[in-house]
Amino acid sequence: MNSTSFTSYQRLALKGMDNQSLIHLIRQASANFPDTSLIITPRIDQSGQAYYWTGLRYGSTELDFVLLLNREIEQMILCFLIKGRDGMTDISNCSPDPTMTRGINWLQSHMYRHLEYSQQTQDYIRYSNGRTFQNKKLTFLHGSIVYSQEIESVFPLQSQ
């Protein structure tokens, strides 16, 4: 992934697709577009299910979707980030695993497990809709993982 060039992507949000279809879509895009990359934001929903908010970039398109996780899917995505289409592993089970976040701080564990494979890390603050977020971005050859956490503003508005 060449970070010095800028590509304007047509963004489309996908909804209602199951994991198997989404993984097939990643495989098809990477087979047809050598510059395919993934932008992953790990999250946990209210029920405790781990998922990736995923941006699949290929050609001039970015598809955004939720990919529910199990350990095989998590491993396949990491292999893709490191080696691209040549690293994609086979998956025998596309069903989400609702227990993979139980008993651990999953997001922190995820970051430490993936940190050693990244080529570069970057910490930064982002502002969006009046909210402040602390971000850590792990960069890989074929994409990135962004960890984002809302924080209280360090410069609150002072009343006059």
What is the per-residue pLDDT across 46-72, written as a single tens digit (0 to 9) for each?
A: 999 999 999 999 999 999 999 999 999
Q: For residue 140, give the nearest of 88, 89, 79 by alpha carbon.
A: 79
Contact 30, 88 (CB under 8 A): yes
> Distance (Å, rounded) from C-alpha 49 to C-alpha 158?
39
Reduced to 3 states (helix: H, G, I; strand: E, B; else coil), residue 85 is: helix
pLDDT for 103: 78
| Domain ranges within the chain, ordered by starting residue | 10-119
Rg of the chain over Cα atoms, rounded to whole angstroms, equals 17
Q: pTM here?
A: 0.85
Low-confidence ranges of the chain (pLDDT < 70): 1-8, 153-160
The edge-to-edge listing of strands for the beta sheet with 120-128 is 10-13, 61-68, 50-58, 37-44, 143-151, 131-140, 120-128
pLDDT for 1: 47
